[in-house]
């Protein structure tokens, strides 16, 4: 039977083509089914940034099939934690939802050399988040 107490996390950035996609992929990869993961953008791009896809492939995570999704009020309300990444005030605020703002450089228009440090910082933050909200042992 699935753990119904699993935390739900929503990552939000403007285009849902870079930072939020990397964060969602890392959280899914590291926490598995212990966390429900969503990502969205306030103004989604047509595709995920190719340099972001390549940078994630370097660490063994394939996000080539991901597509940017539009931010909805329902997605925010259904989340325990909402992590924004440069979308400012476009994210609706609801009582009972924890909000974090991660200031990270935008990988839009950057080459893979510039995306790698952003990816690595996101991975570091996700590892800390997993330790906090979805430890491996719930004993």
Q: Which of 9, 10, 13, 122 is catalytic?
A: 13
Does residue 4 surpass a pLDDT of 70? no
Stated pTM of the model? 0.91
* pLDDT given for residue 3 in this prediction: 44
Compute the mean pLDDT over every residue in the chain, rounded to the nearest whole number: 90
Q: Which of 91, 115, 129, 130 is catalytic?
A: 91
Query: What residue spans of the chain are helical by DSSP H?
Result: 19-31, 50-58, 73-77, 112-133
Question: Does 13 participate in catalysis according to the annotation?
Answer: yes
Does residue 119 surpass a pLDDT of 60? yes
Question: Does 87 participate in catalysis according to the annotation?
Answer: yes
Arithmetic mean of pLDDT, 95-109: 91
Taking a C-beta distance cutoff of 8 angstroms, is the pair 22, 119 a contact? yes
Q: Which of 48, 63, 87, 133 is catalytic?
A: 87
Question: Of 30, 22, 24, which is closest to residue 49 (Cα–Cα)?
Answer: 22
CA distance 76 to 1: 25
Question: Does 70 participate in catalysis according to the annotation?
Answer: no
* pLDDT given for residue 121 in this prediction: 98
Phi, psi (5° rounding) for residue 120? Answer: -65, -35
């Amino acid at each position: 039977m699935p753990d119904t107490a699993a935390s739900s996390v929503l990552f939000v950035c403007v285009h849902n083509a870079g930072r939020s996609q990397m964060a969602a992929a890392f959280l899914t990869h590291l926490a598995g089914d212990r966390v429900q993961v969503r990502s969205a953008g306030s103004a989604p791009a047509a595709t995920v940034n190719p340099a972001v896809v390549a940078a994630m492939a370097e660490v063994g995570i394939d996000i080539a099939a991901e597509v940017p999704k539009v931010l909805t009020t329902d997605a925010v309300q259904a989340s325990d934690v909402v992590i924004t990444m440069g979308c400012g005030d476009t994210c609706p605020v609801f009582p009972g939802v924890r909000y974090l703002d991660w200031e990270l450089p935008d990988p839009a228009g950057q080459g893979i050399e510039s995306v790698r440090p952003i990816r690595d910082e996101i991975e570091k933050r996700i590892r800390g988040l997993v330790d906090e909200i979805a430890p491996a042992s719930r004993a």
